[in-house]
Structure formats: C-alpha cells, structure tokens
Chains A and B, each alone.
Chain A
Amino acid sequence: MIEIENAHKSFGNLEVLKGINLNVEKGEVVTIIGGSGSGKSTLLTCINGLEPINAGRIRIDGTEVHAKTTDLNKLRQRVGIVFQQWNAFPHLTVLENVMLAPRKVLGLSRDKAEEIAVKQLTHVGLHEKLSVYPNRMSGGQQQRMAIARALAMSPEYMLFDEVTSALDPMLVGEVLDTLKMLAEEGMTMICVTHEMAFARDVSDRVAFFHQGVMAEIGAPDEIFGSPRKPETQEFLGSVR
C-alpha cells in the first residue's frame, strides 16, 4: 500500500505540491489527470524517492520513503517507474537493456536474467527485437521496452509518468494497450496521463490535480460524469 500523507514539495520558491493526501491499495489503478504544472509528475518522482519532499510523509508498505535510514535502492526495486521520455540505454541491445538491472541490482545469473527479460519483452510484444539497438526502434517500441525493463525487476508497484505524451499519435495505442494489459493483470499502478479515455477505462479511481492540490478524487464515472469542483469541470471541458 502506498500512503501519501500531507506531502509538500517546493522547487525553490515554487510550491508544486501543497499537501497531498492519497492512499493507493494493492491491486488498485489510480490515474492522475490535470493541467501542466499541477504537480502530478512531481508526485511520482517523490513516491520513489527520486525527489525529496519538504514536509509530510510517503510510505510504501510501511517503509517511509524519505527517512534517512531507508535504502532507496532497495525500495526502488519494488516500485517501478516509466517516464515520458523512454530513456533507453543506447549502448545496450533491447535484451541487454532489460537484463541489466536484474543482473547487477538483483545479482541474478546471466541465464536467469535473460529468461526474465525475454519473458517481459514477449509480454510487451517485443520478442522479435531482442538483439536490436533501441535507436533502431520506434518511440512506441522503446517505450514498451522501458516498461518491460521496469517489470523485469518484478516490482509490486508501477508508476507511469505521461508515458504516451512524447509519442506520435499513431503509436499511443500500442503503449496504452500494454498499460491496460498490466492493469487487468492486477498490477498496482499510478498513472499520470493526458489520455482521458484511457483514464476512464482502466482506473479504479481518478484524481484531478490542480495547482499542487488534489482537487478531486473518485471513481471514473464520478469524475468524468459529474465532476463537483468548477476547476475539474473547466479542465475536462477544455480537454474534450
């Protein structure tokens, strides 16, 4: 379970998160929607400790993320994240990209890591690209590789940060299908997204962020069907 309690985060004078409270249960899919600069992506990087928070606390299965005693490298093995930019390791083949962390971080043998990597790459439909270098693939394929790379660590939670925003419109579908598949398999996910149809489809709950505050959260039907807050109404009106 991910527990976010009164999380505050500032970059210099700019307060990006103004006291976020959110609990995500095991197996739940929560999507976060909202305009640019609403703090959605920042929250994800705070959850796996890539960014420190200024106040409040974030706990993952009871482990406090930002406590000094927490081994973030250990924690991040349980919390996968995929970014807007897929960030392939360009000097490694697709297979090696996915094998690297299981081998070096988990200390698995080459054979075992390869078995896991092939399984995850097959899962996201890239089994024919194993020996290809990432830069020879489309953005959508690279993004699916990034998803497989995160999944190869067998995380219990997955964070997706606008994973389709940098893609050609044609390629968005294949990545969203991959996310849907994961959601159906019961992966606990927090997805920051601008794809409203996707949010409506896969989410157990949808959170609307506005200027660093979680303005509204509820079932997709509530948020998309009958949003209560004027900000939510305005946002949804502008994206439709």
Chain B
Amino acid sequence: MLDTALTWNDLLFLGQGAAMTLAVTAVSVAAGTIMGIIFGVIRFQAGPIWSMPLMFFLDIFRSVPLLIQLVLGNALQSIAKLGWPPFTTSCVVLSLYTAAYCTEIVRGGIASVPVTTRRAGRSLGMTWGQDMRYIVAPLATRVSLPAWIGLTLGVMKDSALVLWLGLIELLRASQILVTRLQEPLFILLICGAIYFIISFPIARLGGYLERRWSPHD
C-alpha cells in the first residue's frame, strides 16, 4: 500500500501547474511559430546579406541562456514601465526564443523545395504568393515538421524556467509540494509523468502526420 501524505488537493495543485505549463507553451509556440514563419520567409527571400540584422537579433535569443533572457526581459519591462505581469513577460521572451529557432526550421524547409518545382508552378502562371501557398508551404511543412515537433517539446520543457519570474507552473508546483511534504522522489516522479503525458500526444501527432504523408514520397 502506498504511504504518502499527498492529497487530492495537492494533485489538483500539480494539475494547475501543468495547466500553466501548457498555457505558456501554447501561447509561446503559437506566437513563436507565426513569427518564425514570417522571419523564415524574409530570411529566405532576402538572402544572407540583407537578412543579417534580423539574424543577429535572432542569434541573441539562440545563444543567450533562456534563464538570463527571462530575468533580463523581466528587468527590461520593469525599467520600461510596461507593467507586464509575469505571464506576459514569460510568453514574450519564450515566443522570441521559439521564433529564433523556428526561423531556421522554416528557412530550411523552404530551401528544401526544389527550384525547378517552383519554376513549374510559376510557369503555369502562378504568382509568388500562390506558389508559396500551394506548392512551397505544403512541401516545406513536411520537411520541417519533425524539427518543429522537437522544438515544441523543447520549449515545453524549457518553459519550466519561467518559475524564476514567479509563475507557478508544473515544476514550481512540484517544488512547493516537495518542500512541504518532504517526498521528493514520489512527487518528482508524478511531475515527470505529467510532463510525459503532455508530450506524448504531441510526439504522436508528429508521427501520425509523417505516416499520413509518407505514401507520397
């Protein structure tokens, strides 16, 4: 028989933490992906020289540890008197962090579409936009999907760092319980299991889409 002081209320508390993790991840990945697509297209169209300022900006978010970004981001918004709550600051920083990685994924996806295939589209009278939408987007998505799934899962786990801004997400909720109940192994096991339960469907979705598209290759 399992002997623990953990109550249903504590589990609910963990659940609320998980909901926060999901919320931060969902907002950041959604916003980061939209920005990543825009930046990736600009990066591809503008070429390496013209997109240098953009790349420099994004490289900051790729190379500075996320924890520092969050702390600096919070300090900046405070100095600028933006008055953002921790959730907003966390989402803004994580979105830019996601966008920085997503930009390269998108650029790589677009570059993987053969020029000759695009030429065939244009030679049928398609505009640049139609070519991008009906030919490049579906083909690039197939190529980029595995990397994007990896990014999403990574961001979800990295989002634990927002606890430094005072958000009670899954890891912070677990820490609080560990401090109170002194049952670190058991609680972290549950915490890990919850992370797994959240990640699993995302990973499966990727596998499912890859299988669905594979007969065309």
Contacts and interface: CB of A to CB of B under 8 A. Distances in A.
A196 interface: no
Nearest to A84: B116
Interface stretch (B80-88, B132-140, B154-162, B165-173): B132-140
Interface string A64-101: 00000000011011001101010111110000000011
B216 interface: yes
B116 A85 contact: yes
A135 interface: yes
A87 B124 CA distance: 12
A203 to B, nearest CB: 23
Contact of A73 (B116, B125, B215): B125
Contact of A153 (B120, B124, B127, B213): B124
A150 B138 CA distance: 21
A90 B216 contact: yes
A133 B119 contact: no
Nearest to B117: A87
A80 B123 contact: yes
Given A73-B127, A101-B126, A135-B216, A89 B121 contact: yes
A105 B120 contact: no
The SS class assigned to the B binding surface is helix
A223 interface: no
B213 A91 contact: yes
Contacts of A48: 123
B180 interface: no
Given A83-B120, A104-B130, A91 B142 contact: yes
A146 interface: yes
B139 A90 contact: yes
B125 A87 contact: no
A162 to B, nearest CB: 13
Interface string B147-189: 0000000000000000000000000000000000000000000
B204 interface: no
B3 interface: no
Given A73-B126, A73-B127, A153-B124, A87 B142 contact: no
A76 to B, nearest CB: 4
20 contacts: A48-B123, A50-B122, A50-B123, A73-B126, A73-B127, A76-B123, A76-B124, A87-B116, A87-B117, A91-B139, A91-B142, A100-B124, A104-B130, A105-B124, A133-B215, A133-B216, A135-B216, A135-B217, A149-B124, A150-B124
Q: Across chains A and B, which 10 residue pairs bring their CB atoms closest together, nearest first?
A: A87-B120, A101-B124, A77-B125, A76-B125, A105-B125, A133-B216, A91-B138, A81-B123, A87-B117, A73-B125
Interface of A: 48, 50, 73-74, 76-77, 80-81, 83, 85, 87-91, 100-101, 104-105, 133, 135, 146, 149-150, 153
